[in-house]
């Protein structure tokens, strides 16, 4: 996926059956009449597909420190309030561990200190909530792709699910993204915000920043990261709390 998607590679992929668009590795185009016909028919679709693919890889805009919002509101849960979470806050998250499991060869269990010692990325981005507000904030955290490389995803893994500490109608808040967003360079597990440790209102100790998507995808209070082949078996099956509850789009691109 790191190689640029040229028109030739895209056509090669379509000629090879069309299913492997993002995994196209073959440049050879079969010149048989049926393939020629497919290529001809596919022409307008190619432009669309190419635009979609390059959009997914593009970076979200980043801002300068002077553009940061003086106030960044909290939304949704502003404190999980469960006995377990209250206990974690009381010990300043020294007992907290992030679990990484599911379809990985090396399940992980990492303390907050351990995560802070891993490579970090800092970015100033705009958060857009569907409820009609935006704010620009600075986030510091571990690139999710690095963590997933350490955990060694199994080939069957297709989605990354984030299980949170807060409950929505009795079920833990959750969200999910695909592997394109999981390995996007701006997708981080943030433990810092605006130069401070992430506070409870904004998702302490760790929250997802997936900068190409809307606010409700930015899971706060992340406790467990699970790699899965399908979202079908998880809660309502639509890949996230708001997706299940009121039909928000699973892919909430901005
Ligand atoms: N665990 C959890 N994550 C969540 C939510 C929530 O209620 N619980 N709300 C979402 C919504 S709708 C938005 S807009 C953002 C708000 O993040 P903020 O509180 O840092 O502004 O978090 C998202 N992630
Ligand atoms: Mo939101």
Cβ < 6 Å from ligand 1: which residues? 73-77, 129, 164, 166, 173, 202-203, 215-216, 218-221
Alpha-helical (H) ranges within the chain are 7-15, 33-57, 83-90, 112-117, 144-151, 179-182, 241-246
Q: What is the pLDDT of residue 184?
A: 98
pTM: 0.83
pLDDT of the residue at 55: 85
pLDDT in tens, 4-61: 443 333 333 333 333 333 333 333 444 444 444 444 444 445 556 666 666 899 999 9
pLDDT score recorded for residue 52: 64
| Residues 102, 22 within the same domain | no
Q: Which ligand 1 atom sits closest to the C-alpha of 203?
A: 20
Residues 168 and 138 in one domain: yes
Name the residue at shortest CA distance from atom 7 of ligand 1: 76
Residue 84 within a domain? yes
CA atoms of 151 and 210, how far apart (whole Å): 19
Q: Closest Cα to atom 11, ligand 1: which residue?
A: 216
**Residue 124 CA to ligand 2 centre (angstroms):** 18
Residue closest via CA to ligand 1's atom 1 equals 220
Range of the domain at 203: 60-246
CATH at residue 214: 3.90.420.10
Q: pLDDT exceeding 90 applies to what percent of the chain? A: 78
Whether residue 163 is predicted with pLDDT greater than 80 in this model: the reply is: yes
Q: Are residues 137 and 179 in the same domain?
A: yes
As a whole number of angstroms, the distance between CA 74 and CA 70 comes to 13
Say yes or no: 18 and 65 in one domain: no
Q: Which has the higher per-residue pLDDT, 239 or 14?
A: 239
The per-residue pLDDT for 47 is 55
Which pLDDT band, with edges at 50, 70 and 90, does 146 fall under? very high
- In this structure, the residue with its CA closest to atom 8 of ligand 1 is 77
What's the mean pLDDT when you consider all of the chain?
Answer: 86
Q: Which atom of ligand 1 is nearest to the CA of 214?
A: 14
For the cut 90, the answer to whether the pLDDT of residue 124 exceeds it is yes
Mutate to test the pocket of ligand 1, among 125, 172, 215 (most ligand atoms within 8 A of CB): 215
Residue 109 has pLDDT above 90, yes or no: yes
Q: Which atom of ligand 1 is nearest to the CA of 77?
A: 7
Mean pLDDT check: name the lowest of 11-25, 108-122, 131-145. 11-25
Ligand 1 atom closest to residue 135's alpha carbon, by position in its atom list = 21
Q: What is the pLDDT of residue 68?
A: 98
Check whether residue 11 and residue 98 sit in a common domain: no
In the predicted model, what is the mean pLDDT of residues 111-127?
98
Q: What is the mean pLDDT of residues 201-215?
A: 98
Residue 214: inside a domain, yes or no? yes
Rounded to an integer, the average pLDDT of 131-159 is 98
In a domain, 36, yes or no: yes
Distance 64 CA to ligand 2 centre (A): 23
Residues 180 and 213 both lie in one domain: yes
What local confidence, expressed as pLDDT, does residue 29 receive?
40
78 occurs within a structural domain: yes
> How far is the centre of ligand 2, averaged over its atoms, from the C-alpha of 152 (Å)?
31
| Domain identity same for 46 and 144 | no
Total structural domains within the chain: 2
pLDDT in the model for residue 54: 65
Residue 232: per-residue pLDDT: 97
What average pLDDT does the segment 98-125 reach? Answer: 98
In a domain, 166, yes or no: yes
Which atom, in ligand 1's list, is nearest to the CA of 166?
1
Give mean pLDDT, residues 186-193: 99
Same domain? 232 vs 155: yes
Q: What integer is the mean pLDDT of 122-134?
A: 98
Check residue 46 and give its pLDDT. Answer: 55
Identify whether 192 is part of a domain.
yes
Rounded to the nearest whole angstrom, what is the distance from the C-alpha of residue 248 to the centroid of ligand 2?
11
Question: pLDDT digits over 82-97, tens only?
Answer: 999 999 999 999 999 9
């Amino acid at each position: 996926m790191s190689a640029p998607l040229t028109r030739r590679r895209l056509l090669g992929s379509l000629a090879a059956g069309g299913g492997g668009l993002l995994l196209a590795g073959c440049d050879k185009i079969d010149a048989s009449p049926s393939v020629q016909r497919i290529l001809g028919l596919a022409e307008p679709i190619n432009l669309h597909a190419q635009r979609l693919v390059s959009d997914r890889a593009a970076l979200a805009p980043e801002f300068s420190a002077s553009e940061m919002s003086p106030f960044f509101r909290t939304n949704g849960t502003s404190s999980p309030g469960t006995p377990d979470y209250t206990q974690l806050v009381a010990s300043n998250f020294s007992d907290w561990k992030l679990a990484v499991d599911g379809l990985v060869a090396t399940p992980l269990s990492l303390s907050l200190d351990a995560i802070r010692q891993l490579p970090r990325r800092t970015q100033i981005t705009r958060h857009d909530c569907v409820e009609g507000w935006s704010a620009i904030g600075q986030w510091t955290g571990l690139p999710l792709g690095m963590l997933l490389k350490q955990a060694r995803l199994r080939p069957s893994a297709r989605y990354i699910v984030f299980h949170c500490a807060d409950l929505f109608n009795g079920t833990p808040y959750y969200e999910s993204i695909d592997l394109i967003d999981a390995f996007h360079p701006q997708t981080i597990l943030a433990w810092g915000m605006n130069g401070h440790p992430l506070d409870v209102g904004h998702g302490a100790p760790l929250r997802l920043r997936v900068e190409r998507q809307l606010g409700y995808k930015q899971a706060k209070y992340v406790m467990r990261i699970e790699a899965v082949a399908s979202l079908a078996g998880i809660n309502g099956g639509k890949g996230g709390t708001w997706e299940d509850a009121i039909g928000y789009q699973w892919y909430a691109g901005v």
